[in-house]
Chain A
Amino acid sequence: MDLSEINFAVLVASLIVASTPLVLAALGELIVEKSGVLNLGVEGMMIIGAVTGFIVGVETGSAYIGMMAAAMAGALLSLLFAFIILIMQANQVASGLALTIFGLGIAALMGHPYTGIKSPQISTISIPFISEIPVLGTMFFQHDLIVYLSLISVLVIWYFLNRMRAGLILRSVGEDHDVAHSLGYRVVTIRFLAITFGGAMAGVGGGYLSLVRVPQWTEGMTAGAGWIALALVVFSGWRPFRLLIGAYIFGGITILQLNLQAIGVNINIALLSMAPYLATILALVVISMSRFRGNRGAPGCLGRSFVKIT
């Protein structure tokens, strides 16, 4: 065992790539849940994004167009969910689960002719000057556009939720939709928008998986990433920065355990494979216990159907 064989700069760079789909999907779900809707269909929207992004990417030859298509596909599928729970007022948990199963099935069907094809490349963008800093440059500044976008969206979403009027309205709808309604806010419209945004983000997360991280389409390739994204939202206490940290811990341990195996560390591998899940839960539990006791940030109306009182 020789720890010096592990290249930590590369390790950090690859953990960022491994975590990016999670960050994107979880950020989308954060907004959805802040508006008071629990969408358990993240996995389904991700896989639809993955397959659509891949198909469009292959057909057009551009990974970026593929990414956009992935966002649209995720959003489109989430509209189905929005329609069912907002207009038909069906149970959110059941509809979300159905959405996941539906998405997985449809994606398998759509992707069938596309298994075993190479996707177009997405180039990395090295940020001038700072990307040449040894170690740090490799870690953070030689990534593709989507990684930078995911980091920017953490900032933007934090700003939106905490510093903007629109964010305040969104949160108020999530906290108490009856009060928000009586104040004249359009609860259904706002939730529609939030759900669509969440779908688009999950779609991009999925597209990143099939176009950059693997890069290939294979059936069921999200392999539970949507569920991890959902868990991250809860454990982060609905806070964007903690969510980012949680996602990076998860990705980090995943990559670290592979590295440890390769240098021949003598640890039980079943334990190592479990480690990312354990560490993420532990870290986030510790963060949420320490300072903001009592304020978990869960929206008051999370998962409840809004019935207009007329």
Chain B
Amino acid sequence: MRQFMKYFSASFLFISMVITSSIAIAADYKVGFIYIGPPGDHGWNYQHDVGRKAVDEAFGDKVETVFQENVPESADAERVMTQMALSGADMIFATSFGYMEPVLNVAKKFPKVKFEHATGYMTADNVSTYSARFYEGRTVAGHIAGKMTKSNTIGYVASYPIPEVVRGINSAYLAAKKANPNVEFKVIWIFTWYDPAKEADAAKTLISQGADVILQHVDSSAIMTVAEEAGVYAFGQASDMSAFGPNAHLTAIINGWAPYYVKKVKQGMDGTWKGAEQTFDGIGAGMVIIGPLSDKIPDSVKKEAMEIRDGIASGTLHSFTGPINKQDGSPWLKAGETADMGTLLGMNFYVEGIEGDIPQ
């Protein structure tokens, strides 16, 4: 009996550990989503989930959506997507850069399932990619930051040194520099998308070194909380984060995935969906949205910010318009020239004026 109890108690613990969610799907068209973090992050994943809910709403009973949160960018992602495909998903949205290899692997095994991979650059017959021109939003944010800083020091909490993040830093810097020639950028790389403790530490460090406006390219709202406590400004990332810092929150660069998701699911249902397509939309298409501007921003700056936003949306303005030199002083864009798609997608250099190196 004692022996039995011993094994029983041990296995009880293990069974309670291994509660996995089974995915059962019943509607005509089934769409799966995998998220890198929890949809409750009020950032990146939250917006993808908003997009998923928009799909639910647009198609009602005809489409059923499922999602799996906290899927690591590893073999786990492959396992989760395989499971989704096996349980009858017709389309799968993989919503993080690091799912690229897993998506391609699973797509090979399930040629009939349609895959949509966010922010990646590799496609296949049944894999399309989509990304937003977040850097357009950062031009607006950079301008506001340049106007709002009093210490002329702007802090930037960056995640991984990938082109998307580097692009954002450059774009924000160029706009800030234009708005305020004395501005200086301090960048901290924390090598994670989502670690609130690390993000908070990085923001505190930047503030202690004199930054009074913080930009972020990481997913949680921890930085907003820290900024509010310290009495400095910050920008919401991916979602409106004003709830975390009513005084600190200047505006937010919001990701608008909903129209794209609804469009793609519709294409999937009526058979017009195509693989190997690469979508790269910005403010104009509504994939990047500038949130409400804080009352702390003077009216003149608000007006300028809106002009920049509208200029980018209509195409009269481009975030990277020459003359721009690279960090080492070598020329990149001639006067009036705008950056081409290839350089933007593979951007691995700072523009002139930013100090420090991009970690390799």
A contact set with B: CB distance below 8 Å: 5-7, 10-11, 14, 18, 80, 83-84, 88-91, 94-95, 98-99, 101-102, 105, 108, 112, 115-116, 118, 209, 213-216, 218-221, 223, 254-255, 258-259, 261-264, 266, 268-270, 273
CB of B222 within 8 A of CB of A264, answer no
Binds A, one of B34-42, B247-255, B310-318, B330-338: B34-42
Question: Which residue of chain A lies nearest to B359 when distances are taken between CB atoms in the complex?
Answer: A269
Question: Which residue of chain A lies nearest to B192 when distances are taken between CB atoms in the complex?
Answer: A223
In the bound assembly, the distance between CA atoms of A83 and B9 in angstroms comes to: 9
CB of A259 within 8 A of CB of B13, answer no
Q: How far is the CB of A89 from chain B (nearest CB, A)?
A: 7
B201's partner among A18, A89, A101, A102 (CB-CB below 8 A) is A18
For B, the interface residue count at a CB cutoff of 8 angstroms equals 48
CB of B208 within 8 A of CB of A102, answer no
Question: Which residue of chain B lies nearest to A262 when distances are taken between CB atoms in the complex?
Answer: B186
CB of B189 within 8 A of CB of A221, answer no
Question: Which residue of chain A lies nearest to B210 when distances are taken between CB atoms in the complex?
Answer: A5
Q: Is B187 an interface residue (CB 8 A)?
A: yes
- Complex interface: chain A residues within 8 A of B13 (CB): 80, 84, 95, 98-99, 102
- Complex interface: chain B residues within 8 A of A98 (CB): 10, 13-14, 17
- Please give me the 5 A-B residue pairs with the lowest Cβ-Cβ distance, nearest first: A115-B40, A264-B356, A116-B42, A269-B359, A258-B205
- Complex interface: chain A residues within 8 A of B86 (CB): none
* 0 or 1 for each of B55-70: is its CB under 8 Å from A? (1 = yes): 0000000000000001
Q: How far is the CB of B185 from chain A (nearest CB, A)?
A: 10
Interface centre among A5, A90, A221, A261, by most chain B C-beta atoms within 10 angstroms, is A261
Q: Is B204 an interface residue (CB 8 A)?
A: yes
In the bound assembly, the distance between CA atoms of A203 and B221 in angstroms comes to: 24
CB of B209 within 8 A of CB of A259, answer yes
Q: Is B307 an interface residue (CB 8 A)?
A: no
In the bound assembly, the distance between CA atoms of A117 and B356 in angstroms comes to: 35
- Complex interface: chain B residues within 8 A of A7 (CB): 208-209
CB of B222 within 8 A of CB of A216, answer yes
The verdict on A214 contacting B41 (CB below 8 Å), with A95-B10, A221-B197, A223-B197 known, is no
- Complex interface: chain A residues within 8 A of B201 (CB): 14, 18, 254-255, 258
In the bound assembly, the distance between CA atoms of A18 and B208 in angstroms comes to: 15
Q: How far is the CB of B76 from chain A (nearest CB, A)?
A: 14
- Residues of B1-42 at the interface with A, using a CB-CB cut-off of 8 Å, are 5-6, 9-10, 13-14, 16-17, 19, 37-38, 40-42
- Complex interface: chain A residues within 8 A of B38 (CB): 108, 112, 115, 218-219
- Residues of B120-177 at the interface with A, using a CB-CB cut-off of 8 Å, are 155
CB of A102 within 8 A of CB of B195, answer no
Q: Is B301 an interface residue (CB 8 A)?
A: no
Q: How far is the CB of A268 from chain B (nearest CB, A)?
A: 7
Q: Is B299 an interface residue (CB 8 A)?
A: no
The verdict on A105 contacting B357 (CB below 8 Å), with A95-B13, A214-B225 known, is no
Q: How far is the CB of A210 from chain B (nearest CB, A)?
A: 9
Question: Which residue of chain A lies nearest to B6 when distances are taken between CB atoms in the complex?
Answer: A88
The verdict on A90 contacting B209 (CB below 8 Å), with A116-B41, A221-B197, A273-B191 known, is no
In the bound assembly, the distance between CA atoms of A218 and B220 in angstroms comes to: 9
- Complex interface: chain B residues within 8 A of A269 (CB): 189, 191, 359
- Complex interface: chain B residues within 8 A of A5 (CB): 209-210
- Complex interface: chain A residues within 8 A of B210 (CB): 5
CB of A214 within 8 A of CB of B200, answer yes
